[in-house]
Structure 1
Amino acid sequence: MTSLSSVLPPAILLMGPTAAGKTALAFELAERFPCDIISVDSALIYRGMDIGTAKPSAAELARYPHQLIDIRDPSEAYSAADFRQDALELMAASTARGRIPLLVGGTMMYYNILLQGMASLPSADPAFRQQMESEALEHGWVKLHQRLQEVDPESAARIRPSDPQRLQRALEVYFLTGKSLSQHWQEQEQQVLPYRTIEIAWSPADRSVLHQRIALRFEQMLSAGFLSEVESLKQRSDLHAALPSIRCVGYRQAWCYLDGEDDYSTFVQKGIAATRQLAKRQLTWLRGFEHVHWIDSTSSQALDSALKLLESGLS
C-alpha cells in the first residue's frame, strides 16, 4: 500500500544558525535541482536593510531569485501568521509548476508555525496594549515579564524582557482568554503541512567555528558600510528603536551606538555577542525539530552529504 507521505509533493527546509553558510548551499542546490527559493528570515523581508541582514546581492538574486525578500518597509509589521500564509501560497505555486519549494533561513519560529500550524488566538486589543505600554513606561518591561512568569512560566522562559512585542502578546492572550499562550498551543488542532519535507540543519559541529564566522561577518558588514545603512534609517522620522525591524540583531546595537549610548568598541562587542545569542537560540529551536538531518557545514563531505540526502528524499 502506498503511504500518504510518499504521494505528497516534496519541500526542502534548509535551516541553521546565522553565518553557517545556508545561502551558499541554497545556491548549490538550486543549480542541481528544480528549486524555487523561499526566504525564511524575519529580517530579509525589509527593504533598505541589506548589509546588516547579509541579504544576497542584486547579482545573486538575479541568478537565484528569492521569494519573501524586500516585501515590507521597515515601518511595517509582518507576523509569523503572515509568513505562514505567504509561504503556503508560494509553495503551492511552486509545486503547481512541477518545481520544488526550497525554504532557506534562520527564523525558527517561522519554520515551527509552518510545520505545526497555528493556535486559535484572539485578535489584538488596542486598549489593553496601550495599558501595557503605559505600565512599561512607568515600571519597565522587566516588571511585565515578572507578571508573565506568574501566569505563563513556559512562555516567560522563551520570551526575554527585551522583546516587548512577544511579551505583550503573551500577556494579552492570557488576560483576554484566561488561558496561557502555552495552553493555547497545547490545545490546538495540528494543521498538517501538505508536503513531504526534507529538513536539513546546516551548521558547524564546532561551536567555536561558528563564533569565529559570526565575528568575521560582523566585521565584514562594518567594512561594507553597515553603519551608513543604519544612519540612513535613522534619518527617517517614522522609524524608531521599538520597531521589530530596528530590533533586528545588529541594527539595535548600531542604533544605540549612533545615539551615543556606546563607544565604537563596545558597539562591536555587543553586536557580535547579540549575534552569538541569536545563533544559540536558533540551535535550541533546531534541536526541538523531530525529523531534522544534521550536517556539519565545515566537513569536506558536507555538500555530498546534503546532495545524497536530497537525492534519496526526492526519489
Structure 2
Amino acid sequence: MGPTAAGKTDLATGLAEALDGELVSVDSALVYRGLDIGSAKPDYPHHLIDIRDPAESYSAADFVADASRVVADIVGRGRTPILVGGTMLYFRAFLEGLAAMPASDPAIRAELAATAGREGWPALHARLAEIDPIAAAAIHPHHSQRISRALEVFAGSGIPLSEWHQRPVVSPAVRYRVVQLALCPQQRAELHRRIDLRFRSMLAQGFLQEVAALHRRPDLHPGLPAIRAVGYRQLWRHLDGECSLEEAVQQGLAATRQLAKRQLTWLRKWPGLHWLLTDATGNVCAAGESEAGGRETEDIPLRAALKYLGVDPM
C-alpha cells in the first residue's frame, strides 16, 4: 500500500519475482480499459487490470468478489498473492469484509442517473437523507456513485445502506496469513516532486490524446467513475472548453497531491502496518519501529520488505 507515485509497483514486482508470486491490482482506475497512461498502468502482469469498460462502474463489492476468487486461485496453485495499489477502500473491504448487500441493478441505476440528470445529485442526496440519514451524513452531496449505490440498495431491498453496514461480515482474508506493508517517501516534498515528475511524464507520453480518445466516445461523460479518476476529469474539463490546458494540468497536479494526502490519512490509522519510508534516492531510510523498539535501516525497499515477510534477502 502507499500514496500515488510512491514506487509501489516496482517494489511489488521485486516481491513477485523473489517469492514466486503474482500481483493483484488494488486500484479503482486500473480496472478500466483505455485508461492506460493516466493511471500509470504497469507493464508487469497484474490480475484485475483491464476488466471493465469505462462506461461501466466498479465497486468495492465487485473488487472483494474478484480479489477473493483470484487470491484463492493463486494460493491453490502454490504461489503467493501480492496485493498492490492505492485504493484504500478496496484494501479495507478485502481485509475486513463487506455486508452481503444486494447486487447492482442496472435498471435502478439508470433510473437514478436519469433523475439526477433532471434534478441534480444534491436533490438525490436530499432524498437519501430522508430514507437513510446516517448514510447521507457520510456522503458528499455531489458524490454521485455513492449516492446512487445507497439509493439503489434501498430501492432493491427496502433496507437502508447503514443497516446493511451494521450486519456481521466475514473477511475474505481471514484464512490467510497477511503481512501489510506501506511504502512512502519520508519527506512530503519528495512525494510532491515525484507526483509532479510523473504527471508531466504522462503528458509527454500522450495523456491528453488518451483522454481525447475517451472524450470522443458518446457514451462517456464526467459523471462516470472512470472519468472522475484523478487527471482524467481535469483534462476532460479542458476538452470541454472549461479551462486552458495549463489550468487543467495545475488542477490535475493539485488533485493528485490531494489524493496522496487522503491515502496517507487512511494509512496513518491503519492497524498492523509496517512502514517503508524512503529518501530522495528511493532507498529505505527508516523501515519503522521493530518489535524490539529499535529502528532499522536498509538500502532498498525490497530487502526491508523481505525481512518483514521473514525471508532472507540474501
Regarding TM over 0.5, the answer is: yes
Report how far residue 100 of structure 1 moved. Answer: 0.6
Counting only pairs closer than 5 Å after superposition, residues 283-302 of structure 1 correspond to structure 2 as 283-298=264-279, 299-300=284-285, 301=298
Report how far residue 141 of structure 1 moved. Answer: 2.2
Q: Name the residue aligned to 1:162.
A: 142
Alpha-carbon separation, structure 1, partners of 2:27 and 2:108? 29
Q: Which shows bigger deviation, 285-294 or 242-251?
A: 285-294
Alpha-carbon separation, structure 2, partners of 1:289 and 1:43? 22
Counting only pairs closer than 5 Å after superposition, residues 171-182 of structure 1 correspond to structure 2 as 171-174=151-154, 180-182=160-162
Q: 1:123/1:84 Cα in 2 relative to 1: closer, same or farther (>3 Å)?
A: closer
Matching residue's letter, 2:203: L
Which of 107, 112, 116 matches 2:92?
A: 112
Q: Name the residue aligned to 2:310.
A: 311
Alpha-carbon separation, structure 2, partners of 1:95 and 1:122? 28
Report how far residue 19 of structure 1 moved. Answer: 0.9
Matching residue's letter, 2:165: W
Which of 70, 75, 91 matches 1:95?
A: 75
Report how far residue 250 of structure 1 moved. Answer: 0.9
Tell whether 2:266 aligns with 1:280.
no
Q: Name the residue aligned to 2:289.
A: none
Higher relative contact order (CA 8 A, sep 6+): 1
Report how far residue 171 of structure 1 moved. Answer: 3.5
Which of 202, 207, 218 matches 1:226?
A: 207
Q: 1:150/1:297 Cα in 2 relative to 1: closer, same or farther (>3 Å)?
A: farther
Report how far residue 33 of structure 1 moved. Answer: 1.5
Which of 221, 231, 242 matches 1:240?
A: 221
Structure 1 residues 244-292: Cα deviation after superposition (integer angstroms, max 9, x where no partner): 2111111111111111011122101111111122222222222343222
Matching residue's letter, 1:169: R
Matching residue's letter, 1:44: L
Which of 5, 14, 22 matches 1:36?
A: 22
Is the partner of 1:196 in helix, strand or coil? coil
- Contact 1:52 1:251 (C-alpha < 8 Å) held by counterparts: yes
Which of 60, 74, 79 matches 1:80?
A: 60
- Contact 1:47 1:73 (C-alpha < 8 Å) held by counterparts: yes
Q: Which shows bigger deviation, 278-287 or 243-252?
A: 278-287
Alpha-carbon separation, structure 2, partners of 1:242 and 1:100? 37
Alpha-carbon separation, structure 2, partners of 1:292 and 1:107? 16
Report how far residue 233 of structure 1 moved. Answer: 1.3
Tell whether 2:163 aligns with 1:183.
yes
Matching residue's letter, 1:75: A
Report how far residue 176 of structure 1 moved. Answer: 5.9
Q: 1:88/1:177 Cα in 2 relative to 1: closer, same or farther (>3 Å)?
A: closer
Q: Which shows bigger deviation, 152-161 or 273-282?
A: 152-161
Q: Count residues in correspondence.
A: 294
Alpha-carbon separation, structure 2, partners of 1:77 and 1:131? 15
Q: Which shows bigger deviation, 212-221 or 146-155?
A: 146-155
Alpha-carbon separation, structure 2, partners of 1:178 and 1:211? 45
Structure 1 residues 88-122: Cα deviation after superposition (integer angstroms, max 9, x where no partner): 22212211222110111111121111111121323
Alpha-carbon separation, structure 2, partners of 1:135 and 1:154? 22
Alpha-carbon separation, structure 2, partners of 1:209 and 1:162? 32
Q: 1:275/1:154 Cα in 2 relative to 1: closer, same or farther (>3 Å)?
A: farther
- Contact 1:204 1:297 (C-alpha < 8 Å) held by counterparts: yes
Structure 2, unaligned stretches of length 5 or more? 286-297
- Contact 2:38 2:231 (C-alpha < 8 Å) held by counterparts: yes
Using the size of structure 2 for normalisation, the TM-score is 0.83
Report how far residue 306 of structure 1 moved. Answer: 1.6
Matching residue's letter, 1:305: A
- Contact 2:68 2:172 (C-alpha < 8 Å) held by counterparts: no
Q: Which shows bigger deviation, 70-79 or 244-253?
A: 70-79
Is the partner of 1:218 in helix, strand or coil? helix
Q: 1:171/1:108 Cα in 2 relative to 1: closer, same or farther (>3 Å)?
A: same
Matching residue's letter, 2:34: G
Matching residue's letter, 2:307: K
Using the size of structure 1 for normalisation, the TM-score is 0.83
Alpha-carbon separation, structure 2, partners of 1:260 and 1:201? 39
Q: Which shows bigger deviation, 270-279 or 132-141?
A: 132-141
Is the partner of 2:166 in helix, strand or coil? helix
Q: Name the residue aligned to 1:251.
A: 232
Matching residue's letter, 1:85: A
- Superposed CA RMSD: 2.6
- Contact 2:23 2:82 (C-alpha < 8 Å) held by counterparts: yes
